[in-house]
Structure 1
Amino acid sequence: MLIAGSIAGRRRGTAAVATVVVLCTTMLTGPDAAVAGGPPGPSAPAPQLRWRPCVQNGQFDCATAKVPLDYDNPAGRALELAVIRRKATGPGRRLGTLFFNPGGPGGPGTIQMPQEYALFPREVRERFDIVSWDPRGIGSSTAVNCFASPQEAEAWRASKPAGLPVGARQRAAWFAAYQDLARRCQQRDPVLLRHVSTADTARDLDRLRRSVGDPQLTYLGISYGSFLGATYANLFPHKVRAMVIDSIVDPLAWTNHGSSTPRLPTFLRMGSDLSAAATLDRFLALCGSTTTDRCAFSAGSPKATREKFDRLMRRLRARPVGTWTYGRTAADAVNSLYLVHPGWTGLADRLQLLWQGRAPKAPSPPPAPPVPDPNPYLGEEQAAAVLCGDSPNPRDPGVYHPLEEASARRAGDAGRYWTWAAVGCASWPAVAADSYRGSWNRPTAHPVLLVGTRYDPATPYPDARATARELADARLLTLDGYGHTALLNPSSCIQTYESRYLIGGTLPPAGTTCRQDAPPFSARKPSGGVATGGGALADRIS
């Protein structure tokens, strides 16, 4: 889920979730780009998981799994994966293990699963052990780290403008910073950079499935975790017991339809700019339709509030408010749309302070429950290593500014943000040695359940509809609401259907649509509604 210039840079909070998203930084293309699509490599034994109590009074267990760096050479170098588990809470009712990927790429499951555990449906928590892990290259697993010290990493982050660059000097600073990052990463561990692909992680996931003794996989992946799920489903189609993927990355868009010569960056191919623009427009319309008690930035009507926002952004381009530049504010606006509560209210408060010429404090996540390692290194290069190995992006720095202007014409400030989110891959030094780029329609042992949100600032609803067509056997469940992922923007209706599917394999009726429990700027929490029947939602977010 699905990125401050990258998805890894968007560490956010919900019960203090450390990431969201879906997505960022992007992939290298070139003559040695891998176009893998064959069967899994030679089999390796499943790792032994020696569980030990680790956090929250022993409610969670931790273990370390060893996996091959290269599945074509399973006897070679090994990597370590940090794994965490919460046992099923219903005595005698356990069905198996639900594996959870929190997105990114770069989401550390050992942190985010404990933080988000309470958001899983109660019936699912009762019936399944819930297991997550830091994927290879990430967090407390064998990690990509291109700096010799935290001070070096912080100095690198400070070398580029916040949010996105404005003007030729800032664009040059961005390109220089990412070229410097690429040089550092190539020097530190170039072999690891080529072996952190989504296909590698899918193979790790299958070994973890074998380690817990489940004959087939039960899985929930959100944001980028949807691409991991689609990859697993096509590498191991007969091992799918139940798979929920929430806030969908279209695998064809992510992989550039299997071609290594992209015309657009990943997120413009996906339509993230259009989706974020539509979500921002709804934020402004709903804010303008309520009082300043509920939305501080309201100007009394949707039209007046939109005009107020546009005037503010023009003002910030000419004259920042303290450290709040146009680029930082545009990035904050998109990122704050991920979580309706408290993200939308907090964004309105900050915009109003900026309107008044006052610098707001940076948003901070709410207090989080204890986790095994609350401060693992989570540098932007970890997300880059995954995305830049999977998803082709233009290598010519000169194309990004024209692409930014073209995206801004169709998607405004959100278009500028999502164009620059992928620029890290223009100079990235490695491609995946073993990636998977299709086909995406291999018949699975059981159908896949997709959850798509109508107004999502990162993974567009049309991507969910497209993926439902591309996978061999999939059913789309629609959240007629806002934000990034139904897990983090809860709907009792969605949770009911997910529980029925994960526990008993029952799919929702075709065309089912749910509502959120708590709409934006609401004073009360209505129950999640449901309607069935197809064709009620628009095909495009616009």
Structure 2
Amino acid sequence: MLISGPITGRRRRAAAVAAVLTCSAVLTGPDPAAAGGPPSPSAGAPRLEWRPCVRGSAFDCASARVPLDYRNPRGRTIELAVIKRPATDPRRRIGTLFFNPGGPGGPGTVQMPQLYPLFPREVRERFDIVSWDPRGIGSSTAVNCFATPGEARAWVTGKPAGFPVDARQRASWIAAYRDLGRRCERRDPELLRHVSTADTARDLDLLRQAVGEPQLSYLGISYGTFLGATYANLFPGRVHAMVLDSSIDPQAWTNHASSAAPRLTTFLRMGADLGAAATLDQFLTKCGATTTARCAFSAGGPKATRDKFDQLLRRLREHPVGTWTYGRTVGDVVNGLYHLHPGWTNLAERLQALWQGRIPAPSPLPAAPPVPYPNPYLGDEQAAAVFCSDSPNPGDPGVYHALEDFSARRAGEAGRFWTWAAEPCATWPALAANSYRGPWNRPTAHPVLVVGTTYDPATPYSGAQALAGELAHARLLTHHGYGHTALTNPSSCVNAHESRYLIDGTLPPPGTACRQDTPPFAAPRPSGGVATGGGATAGRRP
């Protein structure tokens, strides 16, 4: 999950680049009444020795040593890979802004440089922007359950793509993730128990101290919003400014802090399936309302385009196009909705190729800025280690087929995708030793800004409404638009409000709503640009 679909390393790597454009037991964790467990013994701030990431790079890199277990700070330590882009106007620099790109499992050392051009200009001028690979991820001390890259590749290719479709594929999928859990448990079981969101929030507080900031300024997107909410409630007096973009309902993530077995998966509790279904409907409606010159999959009208899509999926169930099976295609569709430009246009071209019986051409990927860890290992087990140990999911693999049918009835094909995205947790071997499950309303030193996009295929707008209502002092900024995160689907209006808030603490008025700069399938302008639709309105808070 930038929340970015099923917890697969391949999916996260693709999302990281595209963003430039664009348990066998119930996982209950500690006593929900204990706010993160007993107070942790103090751990000293790590020393960061910054150096250029690579010769000529504008980014600096460092590593930080932190305790594996904050309840035993003098025990085993792990390493965090950290990256910084200094403020571009150092004379007007006002501090450090920490950034988490989501996931769980998003490698900040890769994704922050890729996403950096999308940060508001004023923010880039005034802040050093710092990110890191969270514990267990990427170039930090990482969860890696395979002896060789070849073993990892063989495991990936041995399971169904997207999600399993029939009984044989379901058995293969469940067996593959059971095997993954066993491999991980053999290699480093101690690490698996100490990669929770609460552990990472404590790492973030040490990094804040390491850069000399008395309080935290933070931007988190997708899963990074849950990390931010956790930090805000573990360390409420240390919040200076916090922007949470495309938010997770913390009660849904924690199964409402119940000790009862969860009846739904995390993603179904969040409503990710409903958000994806609504966004897919918008994609097909907007595509059908325009010409094939702007949306290659258009059938000349919204209903005809929806019918064409349904017919394509029925055909792929029986007759895949090469490796493009029904399951792979539905997964690609949900993931393709994340980035409006050029993601929706590229998705329409892939669907049209499949309609014509052709294997879709791969979408061109932009060159990434030079960073020191350009290709860290990002296997499925890294996201699973955080997600499955942190958030409760049904522990019986046998119930997921029925859950799939339930979700498909309410959300169509997207429900099948999001149901199986959480199934790896059914046989995951570890529970977080120290998780945080609430409360979520501790008064923070300064208010929090929550941003929600109205058509988000992963973290629906209802999650932003819920988080803004849960936090003690928060303001909801509505982004009328499409895709996952306002950062990667920009609105100059949202950027302006975020900049004012981060720089001088000014919140947007209650009920403020912004529009996306560029609507779907926009007509090209004569200059080569596209028609835009940015702007803001104010009214009652949704």
- TM-score scaled by structure 1? 0.95
Structure 1, 383-392 or 354-363: larger mean CA deviation: 354-363
Is 1:29 the equivalent of 2:22? no
Q: CA deviation at 1:32?
A: 6.6
Question: Matched residue of 2:53: which SS?
Answer: strand
Is 1:529 the equivalent of 2:535? yes
Map 1:254-273 to 2 at 5 A: 254-260=253-259, 261-273=261-273
Q: Which residue of 2 is the match for residue 540 of structure 1?
A: none
Q: Which residue of 2 is the match for residue 431 of structure 1?
A: 431
Q: Could you tell me how far apart the structure 2 residues matched to 1:132 and 1:255 are? A: 25
Task: Evaluate the alpha carbon distance shift between residue 272 and residue 14 of structure 1 in structure 2; reply closer, same or farther with a 3 A threshold.
Answer: closer
Q: Could you tell me how far apart the structure 1 residues matched to 2:184 and 2:21 are? A: 24
Q: Could you tell me how far apart the structure 1 residues matched to 2:16 and 2:418 are? A: 26
Q: Which residue of 2 is the match for residue 78 of structure 1?
A: 77
Report the identity percentage: 71
Q: CA deviation at 1:6?
A: 1.6
Task: Evaluate the alpha carbon distance shift between residue 202 and residue 114 of structure 1 in structure 2; reply closer, same or farther with a 3 A threshold.
Answer: same
Which amino acid is 1:137 matched to?
Answer: G
Map 1:7-22 to 2 at 5 A: 8-11=9-12, 16-17=17-18
Task: Evaluate the alpha carbon distance shift between residue 438 and residue 317 of structure 1 in structure 2; reply closer, same or farther with a 3 A threshold.
Answer: same
* 1:44-98 deviation line (CA, Å, top 9, x unaligned): 1100000001147231100000000000000000000000001111131111100
Q: CA deviation at 1:534?
A: 1.7
Map 1:50-61 to 2 at 5 A: 50-55=49-54, 57-61=56-60
Is 1:6 the equivalent of 2:7? yes
Question: Matched residue of 2:12: which SS?
Answer: coil
Q: Which residue of 2 is the match for residue 359 of structure 1?
A: 359
Q: CA deviation at 1:8?
A: 4.2
Q: CA deviation at 1:176?
A: 0.3
Map 1:126-525 to 2 at 5 A: 126-260=125-259, 261-363=261-363, 365-523=365-523, 524-525=530-531
Question: Matched residue of 2:110: which SS?
Answer: helix
CA contact (8 A) 1:110 1:371 kept: yes
CA contact (8 A) 2:5 2:458 kept: no
Task: Evaluate the alpha carbon distance shift between residue 14 and residue 262 of structure 1 in structure 2; reply closer, same or farther with a 3 A threshold.
Answer: closer
Q: CA deviation at 1:361?
A: 2.8
Question: Matched residue of 2:532: which SS?
Answer: coil
CA contact (8 A) 1:221 1:229 kept: yes
Q: Could you tell me how far apart the structure 2 residues matched to 1:300 and 1:486 are? A: 30
* 1:482-520 deviation line (CA, Å, top 9, x unaligned): 000000001100000000000000000111110111111
* 1:355-411 deviation line (CA, Å, top 9, x unaligned): 111111344532212121111100010000000111000011111000001110110
Q: Could you tell me how far apart the structure 2 residues matched to 1:33 and 1:430 are? A: 13
CA contact (8 A) 1:17 1:115 kept: no
Question: Matched residue of 1:295: which SS?
Answer: coil
Which amino acid is 1:175 matched to?
Answer: I
Q: CA deviation at 1:11?
A: 2.6
CA contact (8 A) 1:3 1:9 kept: no
CA contact (8 A) 1:13 1:366 kept: no
Task: Evaluate the alpha carbon distance shift between residue 12 and residue 296 of structure 1 in structure 2; reply closer, same or farther with a 3 A threshold.
Answer: farther
CA contact (8 A) 2:138 2:376 kept: yes
Question: Matched residue of 1:135: which SS?
Answer: coil
Question: Matched residue of 2:219: which SS?
Answer: strand
Residue segments in structure 1 that go unaligned for 5+ positions in a row: 538-542
CA contact (8 A) 2:20 2:366 kept: no
Which amino acid is 1:240 matched to?
Answer: V
Task: Evaluate the alpha carbon distance shift between residue 322 and residue 9 of structure 1 in structure 2; reply closer, same or farther with a 3 A threshold.
Answer: same
CA contact (8 A) 2:24 2:427 kept: no
Q: Could you tell me how far apart the structure 2 residues matched to 1:31 and 1:140 are? A: 29
CA contact (8 A) 1:7 1:20 kept: no
Question: Matched residue of 1:88: which SS?
Answer: coil
Which amino acid is 2:95 matched to?
Answer: G
Q: CA deviation at 1:39?
A: 5.5
Q: CA deviation at 1:332?
A: 0.1
Q: CA deviation at 1:525?
A: 3.6
Q: Could you tell me how far apart the structure 2 residues matched to 1:455 and 1:30 are? A: 30
Structure 1, 312-321 or 270-279: larger mean CA deviation: 312-321
Task: Evaluate the alpha carbon distance shift between residue 250 and residue 108 of structure 1 in structure 2; reply closer, same or farther with a 3 A threshold.
Answer: same
CA contact (8 A) 1:49 1:65 kept: yes
Which amino acid is 2:475 matched to?
Answer: R
CA contact (8 A) 2:254 2:392 kept: yes
Which amino acid is 2:538 matched to?
Answer: T
* Number of equivalent positions: 532
CA contact (8 A) 1:67 1:79 kept: yes
- TM-score scaled by structure 2? 0.95
Task: Evaluate the alpha carbon distance shift between residue 221 and residue 475 of structure 1 in structure 2; reply closer, same or farther with a 3 A threshold.
Answer: same
CA contact (8 A) 1:40 1:203 kept: no
Q: Could you tell me how far apart the structure 2 residues matched to 1:520 and 1:527 are? A: 10
